[in-house]
Structure 1
Amino acid sequence: MSLRSSYAAVDAVRVVAQELFGDATNPVPNWTHVTKVDPEPDKRLPTLFPAYLAATDAVSVGGSSGVTAAHTEATFAALSTAPVPAFHEPSAAAHVTPATREAATFLTLPEVLNGDSESLVGRLGAGVESLHDDQVPAAVAHALPSTLADRSLQSRVGDRLVDVLTSWLVRTAVSEAYIVQNPDSAAAREAGVTADDVLEPAEARRRALAAEHRLDSEIVYLEYSGTYGGEAATETLERLDEATQWARVWYGGGVRSRAAAEAVLSAGADTVVVGDVFHDVADEEATLAAAYREAVGDPDPETVASWVAGRADDTTAAAYLSTVPSVDAPTERARELLTATLVCRLWLTDDGPPAPWTVPAFADQFADGAETFARRLGRAVREPSDDYERALAASLATVE
Structure 2
Amino acid sequence: MTSFDGVARRLGRVARGVTLAARTVVPVDTNPVPADWSHVTKVDPEDAKKLPLLYPLYLRHTSAVSVGGSADVTPRNTEETFELLGPASVPVFHEPSGPRHVTLRTREQADLLAIPEVLNGDSEALVGQLGEATEYVREEMVPDLLADRTPWLPDFAVEALADFATSWLLADAIFEAYVIQNPDSAAAREANVTETDLLTPRESKQRAMAAERHLGSELVYLEYSGTYGGDDAAETLATISEGLTWSRLWYGGGIDSRERATAMLDAGADAIVVGDAFHRVADEEAELCERAAEDLGPAASASAVREWVGENVAVADSHAAAYLATIPSVLHPERVAERYLTATVRTWLRLRELVEDGASVRASSTGQSENGLDLGRTLGDDASDELGSDDAELVRRCLLALVADRSDADGLSSLDDVPTDHFALSGSSL
The two structures have a TM-score, normalised by structure 1, of 0.93
Please name the residue that 2:412 is paired with. Answer: 385
Task: Write out aligned runs for 1:132-171 (5 A).
Answer: 132-144=138-150, 146=152, 154-171=154-171
With 296-305 and 39-48 compared, the bigger mean Cα shift is at: 296-305
Is 1:41–2:47 an aligned residue pair?
Answer: yes
The one-letter amino acid paired with 1:301 is: A
Among 19, 23, 36, which residue is 2:24 paired with? 19
Gaps of 5+ in 1: 149-153
The alignment of Structure 1 onto Structure 2 pairs a total of residues equal to 394
* Paired amino acid for 2:20: V
| Residue type of the alignment partner of 2:127 | V
Alignment partners' CA distance in 2, 1:243 and 1:217: 13
CA deviations on 1:249-288 (whole Å, 9 max, x unpaired) are 0111110001111111111100111001101100000111
The whole-number CA distance in structure 2 between the counterparts of 1:48 and 1:73 is: 20
Change (3 A) 1:189 1:98: same
1:201 aligns with 2:217: no
Residue identity opposite 2:23 in structure 1: Q
Equivalent residue in structure 1 for 2:342, among 339, 342, 348: 339
- Say which of 325, 329, 337 aligns to 2:328: 325
User: 1:368 offset after TM fit, Å?
Assistant: 5.7
Kept after mapping to 2: 8 A contact 1:45/1:395? yes
Tell whether 2:295 aligns with 1:314.
Answer: no
Call closer, same or farther: CA 1:135–1:207 in 2, change over 3 Å.
same
Q: Deviations over 1:104-159 (max 9, x none)?
A: 0111110000001110011111111110110011122334352x5xxxxx222111
Distance 1:365 1:241, change over 3 A: farther
Closer, same or farther: CA 22–222 of 1 in aligned 2, 3 Å: farther
Post-superposition offset of 1:348: 1.8
Matching residue within 388, 400, 412 for 1:376: 400
**Partner secondary structure for residue 176 of structure 1:** strand
Q: Residue 357 in 1 paired to residue 384 in 2? A: no
- Say which is worse superposed, 71-80 or 384-393, in terms of deviation: 384-393
Q: Are 2:402 and 2:420, in contact at CA under 8 Å, matched by a contact in 1?
A: no
* Alpha-carbon displacement from aligned partner over 1:42-86 (angstroms, at most 9, x marks no partner): 111110011111100111001101011010111100110011111
3-state SS of the aligned residue for 1:126? helix
Q: The residue matched to 2:117 in structure 1 has which SS?
A: strand
1:356 Cα offset (Å): 6.2
The residue number in structure 1 matching 2:95 is 89
Return closer, same or farther for 1:374/1:233 CA change in 2, 3 Å cut-off: closer
Cα distance in 2 for partners of 1:111, 1:358 equals: 46
CA distance in structure 1 between the partners assigned to 2:379 and 2:150 by the alignment: 51
- Cα displacement string for residues 136-192 of structure 1 (whole angstroms, at most 9, x for unaligned residues): 11122334352x5xxxxx222111111111111111111000001100000000000
SS of the residue corresponding to residue 24 of structure 1 reads coil
Relative to structure 1, the CA distance from residue 144 to residue 294 in structure 2 (aligned partners, 3 Å threshold; closer, same or farther) is closer
Structure 1 residues 22 and 87: CA distance shift in structure 2, 3 A: farther
8 A Cα contact 1:51 1:365, kept in partner: no
Mapped partners of 2:272, 2:117: distance in 1: 19
Is 1:51 paired with 2:52? no
Distance 1:27 1:81, change over 3 A: same
- State the Cα distance separating 1:385 from its structure 2 match: 3.1
Quote the Cα distance in structure 1 between the aligned partners of 2:270 and 2:337: 25
Give the equivalent residue in structure 2 for 1:397: 424
Match of 1:234 in 2: 234
Q: Where does 1:265-284 land on structure 2 (aligned, <5 Å)?
A: 265-284=265-284
Q: 1:365: Cα distance to partner?
A: 7.2
CA-CA distance at 1:196 after TM superposition: 0.9
Deviates further, 306-315 or 158-167: 306-315
Asked whether the equivalents of residues 337 and 365 of structure 1 are also in contact (C-alpha less than 8 Å), the reply is no
Q: 1:33 to 1:388 in 2, by over 3 A?
A: farther
Q: Which amino acid aligns with 1:66?
A: D
What is the RMSD computed on CA atoms of the aligned residues?
A: 2.1
Determine the structure 2 residue equivalent to 1:302. 303
Q: Does 1:62 align with 2:68?
A: yes
Is the deviation greater in 303-312 or in 332-341? 303-312
Distance across 2 between alignment mates of 1:349 and 1:389:
20
- Uncovered stretches (5+) of structure 2, i.e. residues with no partner: 1-5, 358-377
User: Which residue number corresponds to residue 115 of structure 1?
Assistant: 121
SS in 2 for 1:81: coil
Deviation at 1:377, TM superposition (A): 3.8
Letter of the 1:3 partner, please give it: A
What is the letter of the counterpart of residue 290 of structure 2? A
Structure 2 CA distance for aligned equivalents of residues 337 and 381 of structure 1 = 23
**Residues 1:371 and 1:209: Cα distance change in structure 2 (over 3 Å):** closer
- Aligned residue number for residue 264 of structure 2: 264
Q: Aligned equivalents of 2:290 and 2:335: distance in 1? A: 22
